[in-house]
Structure 1
Amino acid sequence: MKYFEFVFRTHPCTETVNDVLAAVLGEAGFESFMECEGGLTAYIQQSLCDETSIKNAIADFPLPDTEITYTYTEAEDKDWNEEWEKNFFQPIVIGDRCVIHSTFHHDVPKAEYDIVINPQMAFGTGHHETTSLIIEELLDSELKDKSLLDMGCGTSILAILARMRGARPCTAIDIDEWCVRNSIENIELNGVNEIAVSQGDASSLVGKGPFDVIIANINRNILLNDMRHYIACMHPGSELYMSGFYIDDIHAIREEAEKNGLVFVHYKEKNRWAEVKFVCKG
């Protein structure tokens, strides 16, 4: 079976942008995705490739202020889904306490929290620094019986881990219908309950909450624009964990948060990606 290999360059290049791009491309016929420097590599059968549909999908990309360009070549003839499963998505252990793996993995390392996902996308698997930083924050936090919101949930592994650690009830929201479907599947795979999944952006938060903990792993611009919506769903003592940006962006994130009544607690960093924790002072 003959495939084309497309290399998509995204700006800004964030986990959320590439996650949504993978979902959009999946609707256009692409089968496999791999993270690459500056974007995403994707594979599509030559017989299914319609460049007009691809261009239209990019033109209608749901996230604002995103630039996407691409090049493509004829790919070596192989099973790219199998190749991705074997070589890209490998089990990952975070903090020696949480292991994330797929349904096709065997001999998985043992850990306190075992999360299994059906990796229909190349992101939101825990491999990206921003996701692993939030996971580390969740592992360090007291979550028992705390209500939690996972905003921009992707695969919902963050909400799943939070629920495993006792958070309840949990709400997971994503702008993309494909992510919502994948989240529901992953929640069922892990046998957890009390996670409500829905499609929407920050405007869908009206009337929801208040939440004890809010997670937002998106990107700098969306966080700055939507932070006020998150804060409207908080009460004194609520915690907000945000990631999806570089350490150079912490100042802007902190300035906006403190302007809206949040208190900076700390930040964590991995390969220049950052995660910050704030508390609502009321």
Structure 2
Amino acid sequence: MNYVEVQLELESEFTEILMAELAEAGFESFVETDEGLSAYIPEEDFNEAVLQELIAKYSETTAIASSWKSLERKNWNEEWERSYEPIEVGKDIRVRATFHEPDPEFTYDLLIQPKMSFGTGHHETTWLVMNEQLHLPHEGLSIMDVGCGTGILAILASKLGAKNLLGFDIDEWAVENTAENFAMNGLGEEAEVFKGTINEVPADKKFGGILANINRNILLDEIPKYVSHLLPGGWLVTSGFYEMDQADIENCGAENGLTKLRSNTRNQWATVIFEKNK
């Protein structure tokens, strides 16, 4: 799979809102630069007209210069690795690549091979979910990671005591990357990953916790399916949507036998944590 890199030159105060808009348009990963922002999207999902409409929307408020180029898979890795920086969630979690030295001050040290898949920790919603995981029970539970990306959330679940892990993604590259990251973090047969969707998960598989960092529309469609795989008293973390969509997610959860435990936001992105009624 090839990707497109879009480079935007803009004022720093507009970086976050452009990231949010581009994520909604299908862009998967972002790197803040001295000039503004670099954004990455699978080549088959790139629509230059949509990009230009988005730029025009904000050009009335601020000056934006843009350019884009196609990146082959090899170049994609090189671009990302060159710019990848460790991610820190408080003083508990540090996500790093193999070329970064470990920092013993952090409780949980997560290793990833930073390929261009969503879920490296740089996106606000990945940070939000990892932060919530610190406050949820994992010990001895089976955990499912929906749309696993790099597998980072499942890896953290393992470090927090989960006994079995199941991840899946529709992107073949993400599945390859997750398997590689599982191995780098010492996960063995207890961790499984496959290419597909929730529809391929056997009906009899049940979980004590489910991590679903996707997007609003998929969540609204699939929350009933997650609930069918969730044990009574089990938890569900949802993220990948804006604050303005939070009420829709909460209503969907309530309609499907879930009780909201809490929610959190970060730079206009939101996460809602539910528990399945016992």
Q: Give the TM-score range, shorter chain.
A: 0.7 to 0.9
Counting matched residue pairs gives 245
- 1:103 alignment partner in structure 2: 98
Cα displacement string for residues 170-217 of structure 1 (whole angstroms, at most 9, x for unaligned residues): 111111111100000001111123111011112113425211000000
1:268–1:276 CA contact under 8 A, matched in 2 = yes
8 A Cα contact 1:241 1:276, kept in partner = yes
> For the structure 1 residues 5 and 204, does the alpha-carbon distance in structure 2 shift closer, same or farther, using more than 3 Å as the test?
closer
Alignment pair present for 1:143 and 2:143 = no
2:81 & 2:104 partners in 1: Cα distance? 17
Q: Distance in 2 between matches of 1:80 and 1:182?
A: 14
* Matched-pair contact (CA < 8 Å) for 2:237–2:271: yes
Q: What SS does structure 2 have at the residue aligned with 1:221? A: helix
Q: Does the alignment pair 1:131 with 2:130?
A: no
Q: Is 1:14–1:244's contact at 8 Å kept on the other side of the alignment?
A: no
Quote the residue 1:242 is aligned against.
Answer: 238
Match of 2:23 in 1: 14
1:30-179 aligned at under 5 Å gives the runs 34=31, 40-41=39-40, 54=43, 57-58=44-45, 69=51, 72=67, 84-86=80-82, 88-106=83-101, 108=103, 110-121=105-116, 123-179=118-174
5+ residue gaps, structure 1: 23-32, 43-52, 62-66
Change (3 A) 1:196 1:134: same
Does the C-alpha gap of structure 1 residues 136 and 106 become closer, same or farther in structure 2, counting only changes over 3 Å?
same
Identify the match of residue 194 of structure 2 among 195, 198, 212: 198
SS of match in other structure, 1:238? strand
Q: Distance in 1 between matches of 2:24 and 2:51?
A: 17
CA separation of 1:68 and 1:106: change in aligned 2, threshold 3 A: farther
| Deviation for aligned residue 1:248 | 1.2
CA distance in 1, matches of 2:252, 2:217: 11
**Which stretch shows the higher mean deviation, 148-157 or 132-141?**
132-141
| The one of 178, 201, 206 aligned to 1:210 | 206
Matched, 1:263 2:254: no
Offset at 1:232? 0.9
The one-letter amino acid paired with 2:109 is D
Note if contact 1:130-1:217 (Cα within 8 Å) is conserved in structure 2: yes
Q: Distance in 1 between matches of 2:235 and 2:108?
A: 22
Alpha-carbon spacing, 1:223–1:192, altered in 2? closer, same or farther (3 Å): same
Contact persistence 2:81–2:115 (CA under 8 A): no
* TM-fit CA distance, 1:39: 7.9
Residue 188 and residue 266 in structure 1: after superposition, are their counterparts in 2 closer, same or farther (change >3 A)?
same
Instruction: Tell me the distance in 2 between the aligned counterparts of 1:232 and 1:12.
Output: 32
Q: Following TM superposition, by how much is the alpha carbon of 1:95 offset from its aligned partner in structure 2, in angstroms? A: 2.3
Q: Is the 8 A contact 1:10 1:17 kept in 2?
A: no
User: CA 1:5 to 1:145, structure 2 compared with 1: closer, same or farther past 3 Å?
Assistant: closer
SS state at 1:207 partner: coil
Q: Superposition RMSD on alpha carbons, in Å?
A: 3.3
Q: Distance in 1 between matches of 2:132 and 2:21?
A: 24
Q: 1:254 to 1:117 in 2, by over 3 A?
A: same
- Deviation of 1:238 after TM superposition, in Å, equals 1.1
Letter of the structure 1 residue corresponding to residue 182 of structure 2? I
- Kindly indicate whether the alpha-carbon contact (under 8 Å) linking 1:15 and 1:123 is maintained by their aligned counterparts in 2: no
Q: Which amino acid in 2 is paired with 1:178?
A: W
Cα deviation for residue 112 of structure 1 reads 1.0
Q: Distance in 1 between matches of 2:105 and 2:80?
A: 23
- Decide whether aligned partners of structure 1 residues 211 and 217 sit closer, same or farther in structure 2, where only a CA change above 3 A counts: same
- TM superposition shift of 1:102: 0.5
Name which of structure 1's ranges 146-155 and 115-124 shifts more when overlaid on structure 2.
115-124
Counterpart residue type for residue 58 of structure 1: D
TM-score by length of 1: 0.76
1:66-117 deviations in Å (ceiling 9; x for gaps): x964774579xxx98666434x321121121111000112364631110111
Matched residue type, 1:129: E
| Identical-residue share of aligned pairs (%) | 37
